Structure 1
Amino acid sequence: MLTRAERRRFVGAVLALKRRGEYDEFVRTHVDHYVADGETGLRTAHMAPSFLPWHRRYLLEFEAALRRVDDSVTVPYWDWTRDRTTTSVPWTADLLGGNGRRSDRQVTTGPFAYATGDWTIRVGVTDVEYLTRDFGHPQQPVDLPTRGELDAALADPVYDSAPWDSTSREGFRNKLEGWGSGRGSASWRAHNRVHRWVGGHMVGGASVNDPVFWLHHAFVDLQWTLWRRRHPGARYLPARPPGPAGSQEGLVVARHEPMPPWEETPGRMEDVEDVYRYV
């Protein structure tokens, strides 16, 4: 629903952060905190209860950076249950550009196309310097999540459950984050399936290289807000750090523990209506 002027200002602020080198620092932060279940050490950003508060703080950091460039800019969200085609918003030439070309998945349209000279990939897991996308992942096709699938996650009254990782079957967090089982769309639900559907750089720890990351995660953040309204008595779990009896001791952030790389806690990220609101 952004106006043409709002699109222009948002894109301009993102490109300004890229020129300053600040955008690549955001990419590096995400790569550094992309820790999977099988790895040792604290998991804060993914496959863990702190997935939602970590990315909320991350979004706020990014929006603050954008507003230092242009204080009229806020992070918009992409409702992927409504705008579901490869040519709808946000894939327009004046916002994020379109799909990658078939030969190498390189994005050649819009302000983030490599040919513009404004968007070179400098932080990633490969040496590719151009932004890539692969809508629908044709080799193993996936569809964008539906409103019904999203509503099923919102209906769960419990925030998260043991074992507090990608295998948790109960709880809103993992139903929204989207670690499933099986193949194709069944193995990627909600948030994860959108990353898979966009494809290219959006798959993996360096997904922030595609600016759609922020629009996607703003919509995910909105779902946490809606879930809190639907279940007002529910709180972030676990409330206390998992003990030695389980397998998650020292790996999961409890409600009042800090989430690296900040001193912010999940508990302080639960209620932010005095900071921002969705319209």
Structure 2
Amino acid sequence: MAYTRKDVGKLTREERRRFVNALLTIKRRGEYDDFVRTHIRYFTADGENGLRPAHMAPSFLPWHRKFLLELERALRRVDSSVTVPYWDWTSDRTARSAPWSEDLLGGTGRRSDQQVTTGPFAYAHGNWTLKEGVTDGAFLTRDLGRSHDPIQLPTKSELEWALTDPVYDVAPWDSTVTKGFRNKLEGWGTGRGSASWLNHNRVHRWIGGVMLGAASVNDPVFWLHHAFIDLQWTRWQRRHRGARYLPATPPGPGNAQHGRILARHQKLPPWDVTPDELEDMSRIYRYA
């Protein structure tokens, strides 16, 4: 039977407690840091060589769908009642709303060094020491809203702009495309600065701290954010019946994207699964 992923703002106190406990348990066991390492390994940008499985490519959505499923399975091995909640950042738009409560993710970082000092993932509690992709310290950092140069979370209309596009993705299948649902949602825009960060990308910028780099998984809000992104793929599929993951076939030799992106029936590393196999998740989970 399919289980349900809920809006984080509608979790009960007990559901929040169980979710946090499961995260802390897999962190203590060393499993959580494996997820951080995986994301770092497969975060490949346009300007780098080799395959781009996780970002700036059509596989952004199925890769993170599988990544979420793996994390969720790890949590459910600890507590079978736990699912990954989603954070609707078009509704919960301030640093005081869900999910930034004391009993869930804690709040923003302190002004001096952006260290998160509230909630169960605060460094002082000794349960959430960063070990992978660390440059400035072993503690979780955030700068909600970007205090030095404030930005706003994406709006419902900005998300709707992505959802209305009937085509999944278009050539050249990278961060430069201006059409297609995938990049409008992933959020690589034109220009510089805040104007170029759309939807998914702007949320990472709004949170700041460790969420700004490839080691963004160090912040547990990563999963709530990507659960909401995954929900948008589901909503897009329902709106555009019959629309499929693109490209259907790999770019041929001589194409600049040959060997750099994944087509519908190619396996997503590091797993033995294809985008085609991840398009319908209704047998595993649903969204409330």
TM range (shorter): over 0.9
Deviations 1:23-69 (A, max 9, x none): 00000000001100011111100000000000000000000000000
d(CA) in 2 for partners of 1:272, 1:107? 35
| Structure 1 unaligned residues grouped into runs of 5+ | none
1:164 maps to which residue? Answer: 173
Following TM superposition, the consecutive aligned residue runs of length 4 or more in structure 1 with deviations greater than 6 angstroms are none
2:285 aligns to what SS in structure 1?
coil
Secondary structure at the aligned position of 1:23 is classed as helix
- 1:105-120 mapped onto 2 (5 Å cutoff): 105-120=114-129
Matches within 5 A, 1:102-251: 102-251=111-260
Helix, strand or coil for the counterpart of 2:36?
helix
2:135 aligned with 1:92: no
Question: Per chain length, whose mean CA-contact separation is higher, i.e. which structure has more relative contact order (CA < 8 Å, sep 6+)?
Answer: 2
Structure 2 CA distance, aligned partners of 1:36 and 1:205?
10
- Would you say the 8 A contact 1:97–1:110 is kept in 2? yes
Match of 1:9 among 15, 18, 26: 18
1:65 matched to 2:74? The reply is yes
Cα shift readout 1:132-166 (whole Å, capped 9, x = no counterpart)? 00112233332100000000100000000011000
Shift of 1:182: 2.2
Structure 2: distance between partners of 1:96 and 1:170? 35
Whether the 8 Å CA contact 1:133–1:200 is kept in 2: the answer is yes
Q: How far 1:125 sits from its partner (Å)?
A: 4.1
Letter in 2 for 1:100: G
Unpaired runs of 5+ in structure 2? Answer: 1-9
Distance 1:73 1:267 in 2: 27
CA distance in 2, matches of 1:88, 1:219: 16
CA contact (8 A) 1:140 1:184 kept: no
RMSD: 0.9
Secondary structure of 1:277's partner?
strand
For residues 123 and 191 of structure 1, the distance between their equivalents in structure 2, rounded to whole angstroms, comes to 23
TM superposition shift of 1:118: 0.4
Indicate the residue corresponding to 1:36 in structure 2: 45
Q: Deviations over 1:187-231 (max 9, x none)?
A: 100000000000000011000000000000000000000000000
Query: How many aligned positions are there?
Result: 279
